[in-house]
Amino acid sequence: MTEKLSAAMAPAASRPAWTEETAETAGRGGKIVLQSLRQVYYIRNERKKLEEFVALEDFSLSIGEGEFVSIVGPSGCGKSTLLDILAGLAQPQSGEIHIDGKRVGGPALDRGFIMQGYALLPWRTVARNVAYGLEVKRVPRRRRAEICQKYIDLVGLGGFEDRYPNELSGGMRQRVAIARSLAYDPEVLLMDEPFAAVDAQTRETLQDELLRIWEKTRKTIVFVTHSIEEAVLLADRVVVMTSRPGRIKQVLKIDLPRPRTAAGMRVSADYSWINHRVWELLQNDDGPSGRAEAAPAGRSVADEIAPSTLL
Ligand SMILES: Nc1ncnc2c1ncn2[C@@H]1O[C@H](COP(=O)(O)OP(=O)(O)O)[C@@H](O)[C@H]1O
Ligand SMILES: [Mg+2]
């Protein structure tokens, strides 16, 4: 009987819902290739002398076409620095970025950037905000209107086309920002803590919507967050960063089934275990895994006592 019970529990324990990679092994080839990125800022020390502050160090990662990658790490670990470089808004001190084999030199419409602060144009209505990138691309007026309507509907803002940003809630503004980025059809969406400023309920709705939109459009998404749960819910792979300097600590490939929803994940034991594992990695902020500590080949010690079949 005892034997039978343990046999019944065995499959879950031997089939972890994630696998772990170190920075060196994290995906080769791919749509976006980041090679040994390093970024420094110059800050004044107590003696008013300029001092080098390393914000990003030896950051290498390869991201596949249509992949959803979350970057998670404590505040100040270099997430925004990384995304600014990816967007072409900042140049790294050293290292290179290639998208589709081409070196990234500056901002371009192949990448949509969605920030926490919405960055909408306050004097433009929803429809005209969404149209902005299409105007830059010189898409003819009629075609522009069609595309705008498609993405306004996709993010659930049909009926709000003529509103101005100050007449919208935070969640609605973020939907406009998403629609605006999708409308000019970028290859890659870069999102920097896009849902950090909205309430918890709206955040879940936006997460579900982003998942639905991603399933539909299959854009390559790099999503920065300091929320472990959000990173795991959304991503195919979660990149865990350490701070001072910002490096990759570990990359977790998330094997939770899709389609996912925030509510559905909340009752998944595997989801909880992955969250716990990411939390563990963040707690133990002692540099890249494999240098300071041996990376376990799947689950942590705590897994021995709680296979997902127990729930
Ligand atoms: N323009 C800047 N000048 C000096 N230091 C900066 C600048 N931008 C960011 N930093 C510092 O670099 C580190 C990483 O910042 P950031 O990339 O914004 O982190 P995160 O987005 O993970 O919170 C932080 O310690 C921050 O204070
Ligand atoms: Mg940031």
pLDDT in tens, 36-67: 999 999 999 889 999 999 999 999 999 999 99
Please write the tens of the pLDDT for every residue from 122-181. 999 999 999 998 998 899 999 999 999 999 998 889 999 999 999 999 889 989 998 998
Given a cut of 50, is residue 3 above it in pLDDT?
no
Best mutation site among 41, 93, 240, 244 for ligand 1, i.e. most ligand atoms within 8 A of its Cβ?
A: 41
Taking the CA of residue 78 as reference, the ligand 1 atom at the shortest distance is 17
Pocket test for ligand 1, best of 44, 52, 53, 247 (most atoms within 8 A of CB): 53
Atom of ligand 1 minimally distant from the CA of 246: 14
Distance (Å) from CA 309 to ligand 2 centroid: 38
pLDDT 10s digits, 93-108: 999 999 999 998 888 8
Residues with CB under 6 A from ligand 1: 41, 43, 53, 55, 73, 75-81
Q: Name the pLDDT band for 24 (thresholds 50, 70, 90).
A: low
Ligand of minimum distance to the alpha carbon of 74:
1
> What is the three-state SS of the chain?
CHHHHHHHHHHHHHCCCEEEECHHHCCCCCCEEEEEEEEEEEEECCCCCEEEEEEEEEEEEEECCCCEEEEECCCCCCHHHHHHHHHCCCCCCEEEEEECCEECCCCCCCEEEECCCCCCCCCCCHHHHHHHHHHHCCCCHHHHHHHHHHHHHHCCCCCCCCCCHHHCCHHHHHHHHHHHHHHCCCCEEEEECCCCCCCHHHHHHHHHHHHHHHHHHCCEEEEEECCHHHHHHHCCEEEEEECCCEEEEEEEEECCCCCCCHHHHHCCHHHHHHHHHHHHHHHCCCCCCCCCCCCCCCCCHHHHHCCHHHC
pLDDT of residue 109: 84
Please check the confidence at residue 281 and state whether its pLDDT lies above 50.
Answer: yes
